[in-house]
Amino acid sequence: MLVACNQAGKKNVNIKKIEVQNIDLYPRYHTCPDYFEKEKQLECLMLKINSFITYHLNEKYRKEFESVTDTLWIKFEIDTTGQIHYINVIHFKDRFKDSLHKGIFNKIAQRIPKLKPAIYQGKPVNFEFKIPVVHYNQ
């Protein structure tokens, strides 16, 4: 089973040229409430994205990942319009260079519903984040 990890904390989330702690509002998934606490904003965003990725990997692409046995980090960007763009698979072992897997993550990113963008000083900004995906042999 493939799992997008829920423990993707602040140290795994980056905003280009803007420190995470300085952001006014994190991007918001359409089913997340309007939280006042920034940590709850980020927690809900990551939970919803993790659930979306996990569902699609297990329901549609399980066989394509049977040979992957360790953690992959998938890097995405939410642009200033709220669209999610797949950026890259980060894998710390050189053997993972499969364009099929990269194409699958790109397809999944295109299916994620449009979000409200991150806000910094009252303006939308690009928001980059990584999610660990772990493969468990069963």
pLDDT digits (tens, 9 = 90+) for 117-128: 999 999 999 999
The 8-class DSSP code of residue 19 comes to -
Q: Which two tokens stand for residue 2?
A: 């493939």
Domain span at residue 96 reads 2-135
Percent of the chain with pLDDT over 70: 75
Look at the block and give the residue holding tokens 């309007």.
Answer: 34
Mean pLDDT of 62-90: 83
* Domain tally, the chain: 1
| Entry pTM | 0.75
Look at the block and give the residue holding tokens 């053997």.
Answer: 95
pLDDT in tens, 13-22: 544 556 666 7
